[in-house]
Amino acid sequence: MMKKLSLLLIVFVTTFSFAQTEDALVYLEAKDPAVVSAALANPITILTQAALDRKNMQGIAIDERDVPLNEVQKAAIDAATGITVLAKSKWLNAVYVRGSETNINNLLNLSFVTDVEFADKSLNRPTSGKQFTKDKFEVENQFQSRPIYNYGDATNQTEMISVDYLHENGYTGQDVIVAFMDNGYPGVLTNPAYTDLRNEGRLKGYYDFVDRVESPEGTGSHGASTFSDAAGFLNGQFVGTAPSASYYLFITEDNNNESPAEEAFWVEALERADSLGVYVTNTSLSYQTFDNTSFDHEYPDLDGLTTIAARGANAGFDKGMINVVSAGNAGNDFGYVATPSDAPGAFTIGAVDQNENYVSFSSRGPNSAGVIKPDVMAKGLDAAVVSRFGNVTTASGTSFSSPITAGAVASLWGAVPTLKNDVVMQAIRESADRYNNPTDQYGYGVPDFGAALDNLLTLGTEQQMLENNFALYPNPVTTQINISFPKSAEDAEFSLFNVLGEKILQTRITIMKNSIDVSGLSSGMYIASITSNNKTTSYKIIKE
């Protein structure tokens, strides 16, 4: 009888223990961007040459999923009370653990643990229970918390140019500095649309170049509306195109009079913006006629090189900024774009309606030198804005198509901040629906920032690889193989091996002496080895 009781007790204990043991995936915070960047710059450190060759042949990109997860974090989880780490996944950026429900849930107290997914789905919190689908990889993307915005009244103008695609991929203008030039921003220090901007310290400063005072008020409220199209955020009602960017607000327009002095104020503000590290500027202003008619700009003056503003815009472009400007609202009278929108160094934006049709008030191109203007189009008729009092309303003019686009540019450039301004601008033009057939009304047409993003990310990866790695070309090779050097190297040891592993060539190469004659080799496969800065990299070469 005693033996039977003991057996029952053993069975009971075993069953109880089993019931309390759970399995789960524990997701880690996004991989360190510096670690990811270093690994992608030198992928041989995380993948074999065979893997690199296969990916290269199949056109498969190497990305952050290939980067190992944080082993220190994995070890900390393994050391946690009652937890055993059974497996890890760099693709999911997660570890598979076993332990009690309580002990597994306690892992959420670790600062680097972002979520827990139990194998027993009934134990998962509403935010857990990810499925093994493409969405699974979201947690190990460096933009882990991707916003899902309700754009409210701004939906049409946002989706028209695919800015929502940028936001969904985590590019919302973070770490990009933008400067606005306008006539005043009353209410910006209290407007609820800028609460996050103020609380997060992203309203970096303001200055009135007209009255020489540090104030955002100015002489009008035009800037209060234009600014909202990029920076405004009212949850469920309105989202600007760069809600996470940082901003400077400059006053260069004097509502009390119209003179070329305002162009000079604008250039001075542009110079200040450059000195402050601004990437993108927005100018919803244009100049053509003045109070003193002798100062007026006639069409021949609008060649992109003559006016004060045009010269400033070109200098600002040379300094590396993208200066987004409205085309102007003279489509029904003067007709042509004014200044600074005539400048080649200005990224000029015309207006369309909600159906992407040209709006007659939008100034047309080209400039008097024949340069295509506007560059691209965005919504300018009944565009959604936030008023100085925090109310969502509508307004019309290229004044609003410009900041809608400026915010989009900021969000886009934040994805590829190392690329030059001309590359980013050209990618936006090429994404537009009339790129192959530009017109005086539309310029290159309505852009697709999603397509521009995809193209620039590809270009950025290629550029990074070229800057940080040796490259051999052509491959396959017939007579001569060339070696391009990364920034970090000036010379290297080049060796060539046949398929039997026998060294058949060894020589010193430099940036100036970077070609190898292989015309005497038999056709087939060879392995090249390049050693520089105590690092050796191997490459497969096909000799034809």
**Boundary residue ending a domain (462, 482, 506):** 462
Give the pLDDT score at 126.
58
Residue 392 included in any domain: yes
Q: Which residues contact 226 (CB under 8 A, 6 or more apart)?
A: 180, 182, 282, 284, 385, 399, 400, 402, 403
pLDDT of residue 10: 33
Q: Do 280 and 429 reside in the same domain of the chain?
A: yes
pLDDT at 485: 85
Q: Is the model's pLDDT at 138 over the cut of 90? A: no
Other Cβ atoms closer than 10 A to 371: 17
Mark whether 442 and 298 lie in a shared domain.
yes
pLDDT at 305: 92
Q: Is residue 147 situated within a structural domain?
A: no
Q: How many domains does the chain have?
A: 3
Does position 97 have pLDDT exceeding 80, yes or no?
Answer: yes
Question: Taking 60 as the threshold, does the pLDDT of residue 452 lie above it?
Answer: yes
Distance from C-alpha of 99 to C-alpha of 79, rounded to nearest angstrom? 12
> Which amino acid makes up residue 421?
N
The reply to whether 170 falls in a domain is yes
Paired strand residues for 460: none
Query: What span, in angstroms and rounded, lies between the C-alpha atoms of 474 and 480?
Result: 8
- Alpha-carbon Rg for the chain, nearest whole angstrom, is 29
Query: Which are the contacts of 282, defined by CB distance < 8 A and separation ≥ 6?
Result: 178, 179, 180, 181, 226, 230, 324, 325, 402, 403, 406
* Lowest mean pLDDT, pick from 44-53, 127-136, 227-236, 290-299: 127-136
* CATH number of domain containing 86: 3.30.70.920
DSSP annotation of 174: T
Same domain, 391 and 524: no
8 Å CB contact between 156 and 379: yes
Residue 19: the pLDDT is: 42
User: What pLDDT, on the 0 to 100 scale, is given for residue 125?
Assistant: 66
Decide if pLDDT at 301 tops 70: yes
1 in a domain, yes or no? no
Give the residue-averaged pLDDT of 411-421. 90
Please indicate, yes or no, whether residues 452 and 475 belong to a single structural domain of this protein: no
Same domain (yes/no): 191, 118: no
pLDDT of 203 higher than 60? yes
Whether 179 and 59 map to the same domain: the answer is no
**CATH assignment of the domain containing 519:** 2.60.40.1930
* 145 in any annotated domain: no
- Residue that is last in its domain, among 74, 109, 140: 140
How many Cβ atoms sit within 10 Å of the Cβ of residue 170?
20
**Is the pTM value of this prediction over 0.75?**
no
Instruction: Mark whether 436 and 510 lie in a shared domain.
Output: no
Q: Is residue 8 part of a domain?
A: no
Mean pLDDT of 448-452: 94
Per-residue model confidence as pLDDT tens digits over 34-79: 999 898 888 889 877 755 654 464 355 778 878 888 999 999 999 9
Residues 82 and 220 in one domain: no
Please indicate, yes or no, whether residues 216 and 108 belong to a single structural domain of this protein.
no
Give yes or no: residues 224 and 118 share one domain: no
Identify whether the C-beta of residue 342 lies closer than 8 Å to the C-beta of residue 335: no
- Concatenating the DSSP letter of every residue in 257-316 gives ---THHHHHHHHHHHHHHHTT--EEEE---BS--SSGGGPPPGGGTTTTSSHHHHHHHHH
Is position 195 within any domain? Answer: yes
Model confidence at 150: pLDDT above 70: yes
- Distance from C-alpha of 340 to C-alpha of 345, rounded to nearest angstrom: 9
Predicted pLDDT of residue 244: 96
Average pLDDT over residues 107-128: 82
- Separation of alpha carbons 530 and 541, rounded Å: 13
**Whole domain around residue 513: which residue ranges?**
471-543
Burial 68-83 (b: 16+ CB within 10 A, else e): ebbeebbebbeebeeb
pLDDT band at 533 (very low <50, low <70, confident <90, very high): confident
- Per-residue pLDDT tens for 161-197? 999 999 999 999 999 999 999 999 999 999 999 999 9
Q: Does 301 lie in the same domain as 371?
A: yes
Domain end marker among 110, 140, 170: 140
Q: State the CATH number of the domain containing residue 309.
A: 3.40.50.200
For residues 83 and 104, state if they share a domain: yes
Q: How many CB atoms lie within 10 A of CB 236?
A: 9
* In-domain check, residue 14: no
